[in-house]
Amino acid sequence: MDMLIVALIAVVLGGAIGVGFGFLLLPMLNKQKLEQEKAKAQQELSESLQKQKELVLEAKTEALKIKENADSHAEKMRAEILSEQKRLSQREEALDKRYETVESKIQQLDLQGQAIVKQREQVEGRVKEINQKLEQVAEMTAEQAKEELLSRVESDIKEDALRLIREVETATKEEADRKAREIITIAIQRMATEHTSEVTTTSVPLPTDEMKGRIIGREGRNIRALEKALGVDFIIDDTPETIVISSFDPIRREVARVTLSKLIQDGRIHPARIEEMVEKSTKEVEKVIMEEGQKAAVEAKVPGLRADVTRLLGSLKFRYSFGQSVLSNCIEASHLAALMASEVGADVALCRKAALLHDIGKAIDHKVEGGHATIGADLLQKLGFSDRVVYAVRAHHEDVPPKSPEDFIVMSADAISGARPGARHGTIENYIERLTKLEEIANNVQGVQKSFAIQAGREIRIMVNPEEVDDLKSKMIAIEVAKKIEEGLEYPGQIKVNVIRETRAVEFAK
Protein backbone atom coordinates (compact mmCIF):
# COMPACT_ATOMS: atom_id res chain seq x y z
CA MET A 1 0.00 0.00 0.00
CA ASP A 2 2.78 2.34 0.92
CA MET A 3 4.57 1.38 -2.21
CA LEU A 4 1.55 2.23 -4.26
CA ILE A 5 1.23 5.63 -2.69
CA VAL A 6 4.90 6.27 -3.13
CA ALA A 7 4.59 5.30 -6.80
CA LEU A 8 1.64 7.59 -7.28
CA ILE A 9 3.44 10.46 -5.64
CA ALA A 10 6.45 9.80 -7.83
CA VAL A 11 4.27 9.84 -10.89
CA VAL A 12 2.60 13.06 -9.86
CA LEU A 13 5.87 14.68 -9.11
CA GLY A 14 7.27 13.49 -12.45
CA GLY A 15 4.30 14.91 -14.27
CA ALA A 16 4.54 18.20 -12.45
CA ILE A 17 8.23 18.43 -13.22
CA GLY A 18 7.51 17.60 -16.93
CA VAL A 19 4.90 20.30 -17.10
CA GLY A 20 7.27 22.74 -15.58
CA PHE A 21 9.96 21.96 -18.05
CA GLY A 22 7.37 22.19 -20.86
CA PHE A 23 6.44 25.70 -19.78
CA LEU A 24 10.09 26.60 -19.66
CA LEU A 25 10.99 25.12 -23.07
CA LEU A 26 7.86 26.33 -25.05
CA PRO A 27 8.89 30.02 -25.39
CA MET A 28 12.28 28.96 -26.55
CA LEU A 29 10.81 26.69 -29.24
CA ASN A 30 8.35 29.37 -30.42
CA LYS A 31 11.11 31.96 -30.71
CA GLN A 32 13.22 29.62 -32.77
CA LYS A 33 10.25 28.90 -35.09
CA LEU A 34 9.48 32.60 -35.50
CA GLU A 35 13.06 33.30 -36.43
CA GLN A 36 12.90 30.58 -39.07
CA GLU A 37 9.62 31.94 -40.50
CA LYS A 38 11.07 35.46 -40.51
CA ALA A 39 14.17 34.34 -42.35
CA LYS A 40 12.00 32.50 -44.89
CA ALA A 41 9.76 35.55 -45.41
CA GLN A 42 12.78 37.82 -45.87
CA GLN A 43 14.18 35.43 -48.41
CA GLU A 44 10.81 35.34 -50.33
CA LEU A 45 10.61 39.15 -50.14
CA SER A 46 14.12 39.40 -51.52
CA GLU A 47 13.25 37.05 -54.37
CA SER A 48 10.04 38.98 -55.09
CA LEU A 49 11.93 42.27 -55.19
CA GLN A 50 14.48 40.73 -57.53
CA LYS A 51 11.72 39.50 -59.86
CA GLN A 52 10.04 42.91 -59.73
CA LYS A 53 13.28 44.56 -60.69
CA GLU A 54 13.69 42.14 -63.56
CA LEU A 55 10.08 42.79 -64.75
CA VAL A 56 10.58 46.55 -64.54
CA LEU A 57 13.78 46.20 -66.50
CA GLU A 58 12.06 44.13 -69.16
CA ALA A 59 9.16 46.62 -69.35
CA LYS A 60 11.57 49.49 -69.75
CA THR A 61 13.41 47.60 -72.46
CA GLU A 62 10.12 46.81 -74.29
CA ALA A 63 8.92 50.39 -73.94
CA LEU A 64 12.21 51.58 -75.35
CA LYS A 65 11.81 49.25 -78.34
CA ILE A 66 8.22 50.45 -78.90
CA LYS A 67 9.33 54.05 -78.69
CA GLU A 68 12.13 53.37 -81.19
CA ASN A 69 9.66 51.65 -83.60
CA ALA A 70 7.14 54.48 -83.20
CA ASP A 71 9.81 57.05 -83.87
CA SER A 72 10.93 55.10 -86.94
CA HIS A 73 7.34 54.78 -88.27
CA ALA A 74 6.65 58.45 -87.58
CA GLU A 75 9.78 59.40 -89.43
CA LYS A 76 8.73 57.23 -92.37
CA MET A 77 5.23 58.70 -92.41
CA ARG A 78 6.69 62.17 -92.18
CA ALA A 79 8.86 61.42 -95.22
CA GLU A 80 5.88 60.04 -97.17
CA ILE A 81 3.75 63.08 -96.31
CA LEU A 82 6.49 65.38 -97.47
CA SER A 83 6.78 63.37 -100.71
CA GLU A 84 3.01 63.49 -101.29
CA GLN A 85 2.92 67.22 -100.59
CA LYS A 86 5.70 67.69 -103.10
CA ARG A 87 3.86 65.58 -105.71
CA LEU A 88 0.60 67.48 -105.13
CA SER A 89 2.42 70.75 -105.43
CA GLN A 90 3.87 69.63 -108.77
CA ARG A 91 0.40 68.51 -110.03
CA GLU A 92 -1.09 71.82 -108.94
CA GLU A 93 1.55 73.66 -110.90
CA ALA A 94 0.83 71.43 -113.93
CA LEU A 95 -2.94 72.06 -113.63
CA ASP A 96 -2.34 75.76 -113.43
CA LYS A 97 -0.31 75.59 -116.63
CA ARG A 98 -3.05 73.51 -118.34
CA TYR A 99 -5.73 75.91 -117.18
CA GLU A 100 -3.77 78.78 -118.66
CA THR A 101 -3.45 76.78 -121.92
CA VAL A 102 -7.21 76.00 -121.99
CA GLU A 103 -8.06 79.63 -121.34
CA SER A 104 -5.84 80.57 -124.22
CA LYS A 105 -7.47 78.00 -126.52
CA ILE A 106 -10.96 79.15 -125.48
CA GLN A 107 -10.07 82.66 -126.43
CA GLN A 108 -8.75 81.41 -129.76
CA LEU A 109 -11.95 79.37 -130.34
CA ASP A 110 -14.09 82.36 -129.53
CA LEU A 111 -12.22 84.34 -132.11
CA GLN A 112 -12.55 81.52 -134.64
CA GLY A 113 -16.29 81.19 -133.85
CA GLN A 114 -16.82 84.85 -134.47
CA ALA A 115 -14.95 84.50 -137.74
CA ILE A 116 -17.09 81.46 -138.71
CA VAL A 117 -20.28 83.34 -137.91
CA LYS A 118 -19.16 86.16 -140.13
CA GLN A 119 -18.25 83.68 -142.90
CA ARG A 120 -21.62 81.91 -142.49
CA GLU A 121 -23.45 85.21 -142.79
CA GLN A 122 -21.45 85.94 -145.90
CA VAL A 123 -22.16 82.45 -147.33
CA GLU A 124 -25.88 82.68 -146.52
CA GLY A 125 -26.02 86.04 -148.21
CA ARG A 126 -24.18 84.62 -151.19
CA VAL A 127 -26.49 81.58 -151.29
CA LYS A 128 -29.49 83.86 -151.10
CA GLU A 129 -28.17 85.88 -154.01
CA ILE A 130 -27.50 82.68 -155.98
CA ASN A 131 -30.98 81.32 -155.17
CA GLN A 132 -32.54 84.57 -156.32
CA LYS A 133 -30.58 84.38 -159.55
CA LEU A 134 -31.53 80.68 -159.95
CA GLU A 135 -35.18 81.48 -159.35
CA GLN A 136 -34.97 84.23 -161.96
CA VAL A 137 -33.31 81.85 -164.44
CA ALA A 138 -35.53 78.81 -163.65
CA GLU A 139 -38.66 80.90 -163.25
CA MET A 140 -39.69 78.95 -160.07
CA THR A 141 -39.32 79.48 -156.33
CA ALA A 142 -37.27 77.30 -153.98
CA GLU A 143 -40.44 75.61 -152.69
CA GLN A 144 -41.50 74.83 -156.22
CA ALA A 145 -38.05 73.44 -157.00
CA LYS A 146 -38.19 71.33 -153.83
CA GLU A 147 -41.60 69.96 -154.80
CA GLU A 148 -40.34 69.20 -158.30
CA LEU A 149 -37.31 67.39 -156.89
CA LEU A 150 -39.43 65.41 -154.41
CA SER A 151 -41.83 64.52 -157.20
CA ARG A 152 -39.00 63.20 -159.33
CA VAL A 153 -37.50 61.28 -156.42
CA GLU A 154 -40.90 59.82 -155.57
CA SER A 155 -41.38 58.77 -159.18
CA ASP A 156 -37.94 57.14 -159.24
CA ILE A 157 -38.63 55.36 -155.95
CA LYS A 158 -41.98 54.09 -157.23
CA GLU A 159 -40.34 52.77 -160.38
CA ASP A 160 -37.60 51.07 -158.35
CA ALA A 161 -40.16 49.64 -155.93
CA LEU A 162 -42.34 48.38 -158.77
CA ARG A 163 -39.34 46.84 -160.49
CA LEU A 164 -38.28 45.16 -157.27
CA ILE A 165 -41.83 43.91 -156.66
CA ARG A 166 -41.95 42.48 -160.16
CA GLU A 167 -38.61 40.75 -159.78
CA VAL A 168 -39.56 39.23 -156.43
CA GLU A 169 -43.02 38.26 -157.66
CA THR A 170 -41.62 36.70 -160.80
CA ALA A 171 -39.00 34.67 -158.95
CA THR A 172 -41.40 33.62 -156.21
CA LYS A 173 -44.21 32.82 -158.61
CA GLU A 174 -42.00 30.73 -160.87
CA GLU A 175 -40.75 28.64 -157.96
CA ALA A 176 -44.19 28.38 -156.34
CA ASP A 177 -45.88 27.52 -159.64
CA ARG A 178 -43.29 24.87 -160.39
CA LYS A 179 -43.65 23.21 -157.00
CA ALA A 180 -47.44 23.61 -156.96
CA ARG A 181 -47.77 22.12 -160.45
CA GLU A 182 -45.64 19.20 -159.40
CA ILE A 183 -47.64 18.49 -156.25
CA ILE A 184 -51.07 19.10 -157.79
CA THR A 185 -50.21 17.01 -160.87
CA ILE A 186 -49.21 14.09 -158.69
CA ALA A 187 -52.38 14.44 -156.60
CA ILE A 188 -54.74 14.75 -159.58
CA GLN A 189 -53.10 11.87 -161.44
CA ARG A 190 -53.72 9.64 -158.45
CA MET A 191 -57.29 10.89 -158.01
CA ALA A 192 -58.75 10.81 -161.54
CA THR A 193 -62.35 9.91 -160.63
CA GLU A 194 -65.70 10.64 -162.22
CA HIS A 195 -68.74 12.46 -160.80
CA THR A 196 -72.37 12.10 -161.86
CA SER A 197 -74.16 15.36 -162.53
CA GLU A 198 -77.46 15.76 -160.74
CA VAL A 199 -79.78 18.64 -159.88
CA THR A 200 -80.87 19.70 -156.44
CA THR A 201 -84.50 18.66 -157.00
CA THR A 202 -85.35 14.99 -157.35
CA SER A 203 -87.36 13.56 -160.25
CA VAL A 204 -89.28 10.31 -159.85
CA PRO A 205 -90.20 8.48 -163.09
CA LEU A 206 -93.74 7.12 -163.44
CA PRO A 207 -94.76 4.06 -165.43
CA THR A 208 -97.68 6.01 -167.00
CA ASP A 209 -99.29 9.43 -166.72
CA GLU A 210 -102.33 7.74 -165.15
CA MET A 211 -100.23 7.17 -162.05
CA LYS A 212 -100.28 10.94 -161.42
CA GLY A 213 -104.02 10.79 -160.74
CA ARG A 214 -103.62 7.90 -158.33
CA ILE A 215 -100.85 9.73 -156.51
CA ILE A 216 -103.02 12.85 -156.22
CA GLY A 217 -105.96 10.76 -155.01
CA ARG A 218 -109.59 11.67 -154.65
CA GLU A 219 -109.87 15.41 -154.03
CA GLY A 220 -106.09 15.43 -153.47
CA ARG A 221 -106.11 13.40 -150.23
CA ASN A 222 -103.14 11.23 -151.22
CA ILE A 223 -100.89 14.12 -152.25
CA ARG A 224 -101.83 16.02 -149.08
CA ALA A 225 -101.05 12.96 -146.97
CA LEU A 226 -97.70 12.58 -148.72
CA GLU A 227 -96.70 16.23 -148.26
CA LYS A 228 -97.82 16.23 -144.63
CA ALA A 229 -95.98 13.01 -143.74
CA LEU A 230 -92.81 13.84 -145.66
CA GLY A 231 -92.55 17.64 -145.32
CA VAL A 232 -91.75 18.15 -149.02
CA ASP A 233 -93.47 19.63 -152.07
CA PHE A 234 -94.60 17.47 -154.99
CA ILE A 235 -94.58 19.27 -158.35
CA ILE A 236 -96.99 17.57 -160.73
CA ASP A 237 -97.12 19.40 -164.06
CA ASP A 238 -97.32 18.61 -167.75
CA THR A 239 -93.95 16.85 -167.79
CA PRO A 240 -94.75 13.37 -169.09
CA GLU A 241 -94.35 10.43 -166.73
CA THR A 242 -92.44 12.45 -164.12
CA ILE A 243 -93.07 13.92 -160.67
CA VAL A 244 -90.61 16.39 -159.17
CA ILE A 245 -89.90 16.44 -155.43
CA SER A 246 -88.70 19.75 -154.00
CA SER A 247 -87.31 20.41 -150.52
CA PHE A 248 -84.46 22.29 -148.86
CA ASP A 249 -83.74 19.20 -146.74
CA PRO A 250 -81.94 16.57 -148.89
CA ILE A 251 -82.79 13.78 -146.41
CA ARG A 252 -86.51 14.52 -146.60
CA ARG A 253 -86.23 14.65 -150.36
CA GLU A 254 -84.58 11.22 -150.45
CA VAL A 255 -87.14 9.72 -148.07
CA ALA A 256 -89.90 11.12 -150.30
CA ARG A 257 -88.25 9.61 -153.40
CA VAL A 258 -87.95 6.17 -151.80
CA THR A 259 -91.50 6.34 -150.42
CA LEU A 260 -92.99 7.36 -153.75
CA SER A 261 -91.02 4.65 -155.59
CA LYS A 262 -92.29 2.00 -153.16
CA LEU A 263 -95.89 3.21 -153.47
CA ILE A 264 -95.67 3.15 -157.27
CA GLN A 265 -94.20 -0.35 -157.18
CA ASP A 266 -96.76 -1.59 -154.66
CA GLY A 267 -99.69 0.05 -156.41
CA ARG A 268 -101.71 0.57 -153.25
CA ILE A 269 -101.80 4.32 -152.62
CA HIS A 270 -103.91 5.61 -149.75
CA PRO A 271 -103.22 7.58 -146.54
CA ALA A 272 -102.74 4.53 -144.29
CA ARG A 273 -100.38 2.88 -146.75
CA ILE A 274 -98.54 6.17 -147.20
CA GLU A 275 -97.81 6.43 -143.46
CA GLU A 276 -96.56 2.84 -143.43
CA MET A 277 -94.29 3.40 -146.42
CA VAL A 278 -92.95 6.70 -145.01
CA GLU A 279 -91.92 4.94 -141.79
CA LYS A 280 -90.27 2.09 -143.68
CA SER A 281 -88.51 4.43 -146.11
CA THR A 282 -87.24 6.62 -143.26
CA LYS A 283 -85.58 3.60 -141.64
CA GLU A 284 -84.06 2.53 -144.95
CA VAL A 285 -82.65 5.99 -145.65
CA GLU A 286 -81.24 6.24 -142.11
CA LYS A 287 -79.55 2.89 -142.64
CA VAL A 288 -78.13 4.06 -145.95
CA ILE A 289 -76.91 7.28 -144.34
CA MET A 290 -75.03 5.40 -141.60
CA GLU A 291 -73.58 2.95 -144.11
CA GLU A 292 -72.44 5.74 -146.42
CA GLY A 293 -70.90 7.64 -143.51
CA GLN A 294 -69.01 4.55 -142.32
CA LYS A 295 -67.96 3.74 -145.86
CA ALA A 296 -66.69 7.27 -146.40
CA ALA A 297 -64.69 7.15 -143.13
CA VAL A 298 -63.13 3.82 -144.10
CA GLU A 299 -62.36 4.97 -147.64
CA ALA A 300 -60.77 8.20 -146.37
CA LYS A 301 -58.86 6.25 -143.68
CA VAL A 302 -60.29 8.32 -140.83
CA PRO A 303 -61.33 5.82 -138.14
CA GLY A 304 -62.93 6.48 -134.76
CA LEU A 305 -65.62 8.98 -135.78
CA ARG A 306 -68.61 9.39 -133.48
CA ALA A 307 -71.95 7.97 -134.61
CA ASP A 308 -73.56 11.42 -134.87
CA VAL A 309 -70.65 12.66 -137.00
CA THR A 310 -70.85 9.54 -139.17
CA ARG A 311 -74.57 10.19 -139.71
CA LEU A 312 -73.99 13.82 -140.69
CA LEU A 313 -71.22 12.73 -143.04
CA GLY A 314 -73.42 10.08 -144.64
CA SER A 315 -76.26 12.59 -145.13
CA LEU A 316 -73.96 14.57 -147.46
CA LYS A 317 -74.49 11.82 -150.04
CA PHE A 318 -77.83 13.47 -150.83
CA ARG A 319 -76.46 17.04 -150.82
CA TYR A 320 -75.13 18.44 -154.13
CA SER A 321 -73.05 21.53 -154.96
CA PHE A 322 -72.88 22.55 -158.64
CA GLY A 323 -74.03 19.03 -159.48
CA GLN A 324 -71.20 17.44 -157.44
CA SER A 325 -72.02 15.15 -154.53
CA VAL A 326 -70.75 16.82 -151.38
CA LEU A 327 -69.84 13.45 -149.85
CA SER A 328 -67.83 12.54 -152.96
CA ASN A 329 -66.13 15.93 -152.75
CA CYS A 330 -65.24 15.29 -149.09
CA ILE A 331 -63.79 11.85 -149.80
CA GLU A 332 -61.82 13.08 -152.79
CA ALA A 333 -60.58 16.14 -150.89
CA SER A 334 -59.41 13.84 -148.09
CA HIS A 335 -57.36 11.76 -150.53
CA LEU A 336 -55.96 14.85 -152.23
CA ALA A 337 -55.05 16.44 -148.90
CA ALA A 338 -53.26 13.29 -147.75
CA LEU A 339 -51.28 13.10 -151.01
CA MET A 340 -50.25 16.76 -150.84
CA ALA A 341 -49.43 16.54 -147.13
CA SER A 342 -47.14 13.57 -147.74
CA GLU A 343 -45.39 15.50 -150.53
CA VAL A 344 -44.67 18.59 -148.40
CA GLY A 345 -44.09 16.81 -145.08
CA ALA A 346 -47.24 18.03 -143.30
CA ASP A 347 -49.47 16.14 -140.83
CA VAL A 348 -51.17 13.55 -143.09
CA ALA A 349 -53.68 12.31 -140.49
CA LEU A 350 -54.78 15.84 -139.64
CA CYS A 351 -55.20 16.73 -143.32
CA ARG A 352 -57.24 13.56 -143.98
CA LYS A 353 -59.65 14.24 -141.11
CA ALA A 354 -60.04 17.98 -141.73
CA ALA A 355 -60.57 17.51 -145.48
CA LEU A 356 -63.13 14.73 -144.94
CA LEU A 357 -65.10 16.92 -142.52
CA HIS A 358 -64.54 20.31 -144.21
CA ASP A 359 -68.13 20.46 -145.59
CA ILE A 360 -69.85 18.84 -142.60
CA GLY A 361 -71.68 22.15 -142.05
CA LYS A 362 -73.64 21.59 -145.29
CA ALA A 363 -75.48 18.76 -143.54
CA ILE A 364 -77.24 21.30 -141.28
CA ASP A 365 -76.82 24.66 -143.04
CA HIS A 366 -80.52 24.59 -144.03
CA LYS A 367 -81.32 24.64 -140.29
CA VAL A 368 -78.64 27.02 -138.97
CA GLU A 369 -77.84 30.57 -140.07
CA GLY A 370 -74.36 31.30 -141.42
CA GLY A 371 -71.79 29.96 -143.85
CA HIS A 372 -71.23 26.23 -143.94
CA ALA A 373 -67.51 26.58 -143.01
CA THR A 374 -68.34 28.42 -139.78
CA ILE A 375 -71.32 26.15 -139.03
CA GLY A 376 -69.17 23.04 -139.52
CA ALA A 377 -66.29 24.38 -137.41
CA ASP A 378 -68.63 25.32 -134.55
CA LEU A 379 -70.27 21.89 -134.72
CA LEU A 380 -66.92 20.03 -134.63
CA GLN A 381 -65.76 22.22 -131.73
CA LYS A 382 -68.87 21.30 -129.72
CA LEU A 383 -68.28 17.61 -130.52
CA GLY A 384 -64.77 17.76 -129.06
CA PHE A 385 -62.54 17.71 -132.14
CA SER A 386 -59.03 19.15 -131.87
CA ASP A 387 -58.47 22.88 -132.35
CA ARG A 388 -56.30 22.28 -135.43
CA VAL A 389 -59.04 20.29 -137.20
CA VAL A 390 -61.63 22.92 -136.25
CA TYR A 391 -59.46 25.79 -137.51
CA ALA A 392 -58.67 24.02 -140.80
CA VAL A 393 -62.42 23.51 -141.42
CA ARG A 394 -63.16 27.14 -140.52
CA ALA A 395 -60.38 28.40 -142.83
CA HIS A 396 -61.09 26.31 -145.94
CA HIS A 397 -63.10 29.19 -147.48
CA GLU A 398 -60.92 31.84 -145.78
CA ASP A 399 -63.57 32.83 -143.22
CA VAL A 400 -60.45 33.11 -141.06
CA PRO A 401 -56.92 33.45 -142.48
CA PRO A 402 -55.07 30.11 -142.87
CA LYS A 403 -52.15 29.78 -140.47
CA SER A 404 -50.58 26.33 -140.81
CA PRO A 405 -49.53 24.31 -143.90
CA GLU A 406 -52.39 21.92 -143.11
CA ASP A 407 -54.92 24.78 -143.44
CA PHE A 408 -53.62 25.63 -146.91
CA ILE A 409 -53.58 21.95 -147.94
CA VAL A 410 -57.23 21.42 -146.94
CA MET A 411 -58.22 24.60 -148.78
CA SER A 412 -56.29 23.53 -151.89
CA ALA A 413 -57.68 19.99 -151.82
CA ASP A 414 -61.25 21.32 -151.70
CA ALA A 415 -60.55 23.73 -154.57
CA ILE A 416 -58.91 21.02 -156.71
CA SER A 417 -61.75 18.59 -156.10
CA GLY A 418 -64.36 21.17 -157.10
CA ALA A 419 -62.48 22.88 -159.94
CA ARG A 420 -60.89 20.03 -161.85
CA PRO A 421 -62.46 19.17 -165.24
CA GLY A 422 -65.54 16.99 -164.94
CA ALA A 423 -65.99 17.49 -161.21
CA ARG A 424 -68.94 19.87 -161.31
CA HIS A 425 -71.82 20.61 -163.57
CA GLY A 426 -73.45 24.00 -164.00
CA THR A 427 -76.16 25.30 -166.27
CA ILE A 428 -75.40 27.62 -169.18
CA GLU A 429 -77.48 30.33 -167.50
CA ASN A 430 -75.34 30.21 -164.35
CA TYR A 431 -72.19 30.21 -166.48
CA ILE A 432 -73.22 33.30 -168.46
CA GLU A 433 -74.39 35.07 -165.32
CA ARG A 434 -71.02 34.46 -163.65
CA LEU A 435 -69.05 35.78 -166.65
CA THR A 436 -71.26 38.87 -166.89
CA LYS A 437 -70.85 39.59 -163.19
CA LEU A 438 -67.09 39.11 -163.51
CA GLU A 439 -66.80 41.71 -166.28
CA GLU A 440 -69.13 44.06 -164.43
CA ILE A 441 -66.92 43.99 -161.32
CA ALA A 442 -63.82 44.84 -163.38
CA ASN A 443 -65.51 47.60 -165.42
CA ASN A 444 -66.63 49.43 -162.27
CA VAL A 445 -63.03 50.08 -161.17
CA GLN A 446 -61.68 53.56 -161.96
CA GLY A 447 -59.12 53.61 -164.78
CA VAL A 448 -60.45 50.47 -166.52
CA GLN A 449 -61.37 50.92 -170.19
CA LYS A 450 -62.83 47.47 -170.81
CA SER A 451 -62.52 43.89 -169.61
CA PHE A 452 -62.99 40.41 -171.04
CA ALA A 453 -63.77 37.18 -169.17
CA ILE A 454 -61.82 34.40 -170.89
CA GLN A 455 -60.70 30.84 -170.21
CA ALA A 456 -64.26 29.81 -169.26
CA GLY A 457 -64.28 32.42 -166.51
CA ARG A 458 -60.93 31.38 -165.04
CA GLU A 459 -59.27 34.64 -166.20
CA ILE A 460 -60.37 38.26 -166.46
CA ARG A 461 -58.32 40.39 -168.87
CA ILE A 462 -58.50 44.12 -168.09
CA MET A 463 -57.43 46.96 -170.42
CA VAL A 464 -56.59 50.24 -168.63
CA ASN A 465 -56.16 53.80 -169.87
CA PRO A 466 -52.36 54.34 -170.11
CA GLU A 467 -52.71 58.11 -169.72
CA GLU A 468 -54.53 57.79 -166.36
CA VAL A 469 -52.91 54.64 -165.00
CA ASP A 470 -49.17 54.10 -164.51
CA ASP A 471 -47.43 50.79 -163.85
CA LEU A 472 -47.82 51.02 -160.08
CA LYS A 473 -51.51 51.89 -160.37
CA SER A 474 -51.96 48.87 -162.68
CA LYS A 475 -50.76 46.62 -159.89
CA MET A 476 -53.16 48.33 -157.48
CA ILE A 477 -56.06 47.78 -159.89
CA ALA A 478 -55.23 44.09 -160.16
CA ILE A 479 -55.27 43.77 -156.37
CA GLU A 480 -58.53 45.75 -156.08
CA VAL A 481 -60.34 43.69 -158.74
CA ALA A 482 -59.17 40.41 -157.21
CA LYS A 483 -60.46 41.52 -153.80
CA LYS A 484 -63.86 42.56 -155.21
CA ILE A 485 -64.20 39.25 -157.06
CA GLU A 486 -63.50 37.36 -153.84
CA GLU A 487 -66.09 39.41 -151.95
CA GLY A 488 -68.85 39.60 -154.54
CA LEU A 489 -68.73 36.45 -156.66
CA GLU A 490 -69.05 32.72 -156.03
CA TYR A 491 -66.89 30.60 -158.32
CA PRO A 492 -65.06 27.26 -158.33
CA GLY A 493 -61.25 27.23 -158.25
CA GLN A 494 -59.44 30.53 -158.80
CA ILE A 495 -59.65 33.43 -161.25
CA LYS A 496 -56.58 35.10 -162.75
CA VAL A 497 -56.75 38.92 -162.91
CA ASN A 498 -54.61 40.13 -165.82
CA VAL A 499 -54.24 43.95 -166.12
CA ILE A 500 -52.77 45.23 -169.41
CA ARG A 501 -51.44 48.77 -169.84
CA GLU A 502 -50.50 49.49 -173.45
CA THR A 503 -49.16 52.72 -174.92
CA ARG A 504 -49.18 53.16 -178.70
CA ALA A 505 -47.54 55.89 -180.79
CA VAL A 506 -49.08 56.27 -184.28
CA GLU A 507 -47.88 58.54 -187.05
CA PHE A 508 -48.60 58.61 -190.82
CA ALA A 509 -45.96 59.11 -193.49
CA LYS A 510 -47.24 61.38 -196.22
What one-character-per-residue DSSP string does 150-197 give?
HHHHHHHHHHHHHHHHHHHHHHHHHHHHHHHHHHHHHHHHHT------
Compare 200 and 357 and report the one with higher pLDDT: 357
Q: Of 336, 357, 236, 342, whose CA–CA distance to 293 is shortest?
A: 357
Count of CB atoms within 10 A of residue 184's CB?
19
Res 492: pLDDT: 61
Q: Calculate mean pLDDT across residues 202-209.
A: 78
- CB contact at 8 A, 290 and 310: yes
Q: pLDDT-based confidence at 212, cuts 50/70/90?
A: confident
In Å, how far are 145, 176, 293, 478 from 154, measured between CA atoms? 14, 32, 61, 22
Q: At what angle do helices 348-356 and 326-344 cross, to 10 degrees?
A: 160
**What backbone phi and psi angles, to 5 degrees, belong to 321?**
-130, 115
Compare 30 and 399 and report the one with higher pLDDT: 399
Res 423: pLDDT: 47
Could you say which architecture CATH assigns to the domain 202-419?
Answer: Orthogonal Bundle (1.10)
Res 24: pLDDT: 62
3-class state of residue 246 by DSSP: strand
3-class state of residue 464 by DSSP: strand
The per-residue DSSP string of 398-462 comes to TSS---SHHHHHHHHHHHHHHHSTTS----HHHHHHHHHHHHHHHHTSTTEEEEEEEGGGTEEEE
- CB contact at 8 A, 460 and 481: yes
**What backbone phi and psi angles, to 5 degrees, belong to 77?**
-65, -40
Res 411: pLDDT: 86
- CB contact at 8 A, 177 and 496: no
- CB contact at 8 A, 392 and 406: yes
In Å, how far are 301, 307, 310 from 304, measured between CA atoms? 10, 9, 10
pLDDT digits (tens, 9 = 90+) for 468-502: 888 888 888 888 898 888 888 877 667 888 888 88
Res 418: pLDDT: 66
pLDDT digits (tens, 9 = 90+) for 406-460: 888 888 888 777 655 444 544 455 667 778 888 888 888 888 888 888 766 778 8
CA distance 501 to 469: 8
Angle at CA 246, nearest 5°, toward 255 and 372? Answer: 85
How do strand 496-501 and strand 459-464 relate by DSSP bridges?
Answer: parallel
Compare 204 and 139 and report the one with higher pLDDT: 204
Compare 390 and 11 and report the one with higher pLDDT: 390
pLDDT digits (tens, 9 = 90+) for 226-269: 888 888 888 877 777 778 887 777 788 888 888 888 888 877 88
Compare 156 and 500 and report the one with higher pLDDT: 500
- Answer yes or no: is pLDDT of 344 > 60: yes
CA distance 210 to 240: 10
* Fold held by 428-501: Alpha-Beta Plaits (3.30.70)
Claim: this prediction has a pTM higher than 0.75: no
- CB contact at 8 A, 328 and 299: no
